């Protein structure tokens, strides 16, 4: 059932992104007087087709990993003399540029619409307040400490932990000063803390920016009561049941899930732990052997159990919403910020500041689609916006086969006054196709490696 849900979320997300992208090409092509022969969502055999009054065939194909708009073009076959004026290749170069650019532009417009809707609907988020700061770390050396609320990073407001993490990600691989503005939760004036970075997390395969600085989010005290037990996991084998309250580990009393129980489990992979359990007002002793799980070059204990639900204090929650008019600049700013972050990340990946292992393929996209859909509408809309921006940016890269490659050809034609030779365009197509296939295979390899890990 979970797999089916993930597949459905993936199909909905990719279907929407592809449809919007291709509709951008289609809409501008029609306005420029180009005859559209086919509008396909997906590749491969058509599952369903229909035609409109202008003769355009619409198709939903079997492989939902892309799509295309096929236009009348003399380079792809004979064109009747009466229809030459509707051929794409006969249109002025300015119109061809507009048609090609319309797909990525449509993706950016989709992201703006998604961010606008999120801003109008509003979100409830955790206030970014620091928990314990680890000693002798960049954060500790800068003077940051527990119970500080993070107000801004590098001058950008951070009303939520999501915003904090985004600002930290922007600095991956860099050397310099990270300016953190924070203030005490019980009042006082905001202060600027200068965190020194030195090739920070350069080349890290699974960077955890917050932990790498020595910071953690504030957590309420959580009673170590079991909420759910994973079938076949170490917890089930030990006899743990939902509702059990862990009162001691190896004879040491425990009262908090996060600070007491989790560290004890993670520090003892494949080692026996004695648990004192309170169950139905009775004391029970169990032997638990955590499984081993690799994470960030470490082997941690893992038992396959989750803590029972708990409520956050009201003063640690924040409501963020905007009226429809005020939401417009918010959406524009978020789209611009994510576009800049995507471009910066690509540059850092090419220069080695960010590991290429962070490149994700269809498997990771599917996992994130399913997880975001489970988390609610706001999370799923955010995922669609981020993915749409990534699709728009990638399609504008100056690589033949992609929209950006075609734009390079047409801009060159605009400057030269005539098209590039067929031979140059064919070479570019072959190089671009090889590059895209190589990158896709590498991304899929990364996905499979993560599954193996």
Q: Is 370 exposed, middle or buried (0-12, 13-18, 19+ CB in 10 A)?
A: buried
The torsion defined by the Cα of 84, 85, 91 and 95, in degrees rounded to 10, comes to -140
The two beta strands, 245-249 and 298-302, are: unpaired
Distance, CA of 10 to CA of 362 (rounded, Å): 9
What's the distance, CA 157 to chain centroid? 21
Token digits of residue 269 = 């992979």
Spatial contact of 370 and 2, defined as CB atoms under 8 Å apart: yes
In three-state secondary structure terms, 255 is coil
Structure letter (DSSP) for residue 254 = -
Phi/psi of residue 21, nearest 5 degrees? -60, -50
Phi/psi of residue 200, nearest 5 degrees? -65, 120
146 labelled catalytic: no
Distance, CA of 374 to CA of 101 (rounded, Å): 34
Q: How many residues does the chain have?
A: 453
Spatial contact of 151 and 332, defined as CB atoms under 8 Å apart: no
Q: Which of 22, 236, 287, 422 is catalytic?
A: 22
What's the distance, CA 136 to chain centroid? 31
Active site residues: 22
């Amino acid at each position: 059932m979970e797999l089916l849900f993930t597949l459905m979320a993936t199909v909905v997300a990719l279907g929407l992104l592809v449809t919007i992208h291709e509709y951008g090409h289609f809409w501008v092509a029609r306005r420029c007087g180009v005859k559209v022969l086919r509008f396909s969502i997906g590749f491969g055999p058509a599952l369903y087709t229909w035609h409109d009054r202008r003769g355009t065939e619409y198709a939903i194909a079997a492989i939902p990993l892309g799509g295309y708009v096929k236009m009348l073009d003399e380079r792809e076959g004979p064109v009747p003399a009466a229809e030459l004026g509707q051929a794409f290749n006969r249109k002025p170069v300015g119109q061809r540029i507009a048609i090609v650019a319309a797909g990525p532009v449509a993706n950016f417009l989709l992201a703006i619409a998604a961010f606008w809707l999120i801003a109008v609907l509003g979100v409830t988020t955790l206030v970014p307040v620091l928990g314990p700061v680890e000693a002798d770390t960049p954060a500790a050396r800068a003077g940051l400490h527990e119970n500080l609320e993070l107000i801004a990073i590098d001058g950008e407001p951070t009303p939520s932990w999501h915003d904090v993490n985004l600002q930290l990600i922007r600095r991956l691989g860099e050397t310099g000063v990270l300016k953190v503005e924070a203030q005490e939760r019980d009042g006082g004036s905001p202060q600027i803390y200068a965190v020194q970075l030195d090739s920070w997390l350069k080349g890290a395969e699974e960077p955890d920016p917050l932990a790498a600085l020595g910071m953690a989010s504030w957590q309420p005290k959580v009673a170590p009561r079991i909420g759910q037990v994973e079938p076949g996991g170490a917890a089930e084998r030990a006899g743990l049941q939902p509702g059990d309250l862990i009162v001691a580990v190896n004879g040491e009393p425990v009262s908090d899930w996060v600070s007491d129980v989790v560290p004890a489990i993670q520090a003892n992979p494949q080692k026996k732990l004695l648990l004192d359990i309170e169950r139905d007002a009775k004391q029970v002793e169990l032997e638990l052997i955590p499984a081993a799980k690799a994470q960030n070059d470490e082997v941690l204990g893992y038992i396959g159990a989750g803590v029972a639900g708990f409520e956050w204090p009201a003063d640690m929650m924040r409501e963020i919403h905007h009226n429809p008019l005020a939401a417009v600049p918010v959406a524009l700013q978020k789209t611009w910020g994510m576009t800049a972050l995507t471009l910066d990340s690509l540059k850092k990946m090419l220069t080695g500041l960010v590991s290429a292992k962070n490149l994700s393929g269809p498997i990771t996209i599917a996992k994130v689609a399913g997880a975001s859909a489970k988390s609610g509408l706001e999370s799923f809309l955010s995922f669609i916006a981020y993915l749409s921006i990534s699709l728009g940016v990638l399609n504008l890269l100056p690589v033949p086969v992609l929209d950006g490659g075609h734009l390079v050809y047409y801009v060159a034609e605009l400057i030269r006054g005539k098209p590039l030779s067929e031979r140059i365009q064919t070479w570019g197509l072959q190089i671009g196709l090889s590059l895209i296939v190589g990158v896709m295979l590498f991304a899929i390899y990364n996905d499979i490696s993560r599954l193996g890990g």
